[in-house]
Amino acid sequence: MQQAAAYSGLAFVLPAATIAGYVIGYLLDRAFGTHFLYIPFLILGTVGGFVQLIREVLKEFGSDDS
């Protein structure tokens, strides 16, 4: 049951990071009156989500080798 919970949590890592990046960029756009900051923050959120996803997967599969 714990393993199922861990894997279901991985399903939310990438979308949550992507949405967080977009929201931060959107709020900065509104604060500074620009219309382009959401794009780099969206990309940063997506990359951050992939990095965290890869870290979690490698941590899970890396523990089997020890």
Q: Is residue 9 pLDDT above 80, yes or no?
A: yes
Phi-psi region of 49 (alpha: psi -120 to 50; beta: other; left: phi over 0): alpha
Predicted pLDDT of residue 8: 84
66 inside domain: no
Chain segment 41-65, per-residue pLDDT in tens: 999 999 999 999 999 889 878 865 5
Closest CA to 49 of 18, 23, 6: 18
Residue with the larger pLDDT of the pair 44 and 7? 44
Q: Indicate whether 10 belongs to any domain.
A: yes
Query: What's the rounded mean pLDDT across residues 15-36?
Result: 97
- Residue 4's pLDDT is 79
Residue 40 placed within a domain:
yes
Q: What is the pTM of this model?
A: 0.81
Furthest-apart CA pair in the chain: how many Å?
A: 53
Domain that residue 35 falls in: 2-61
- How many domains, in total, are found in the chain? 1
Q: How far apart, in whole angstroms, are the C-alpha atoms of residue 10 and residue 8?
A: 5
**Mean residue pLDDT across the chain:** 90
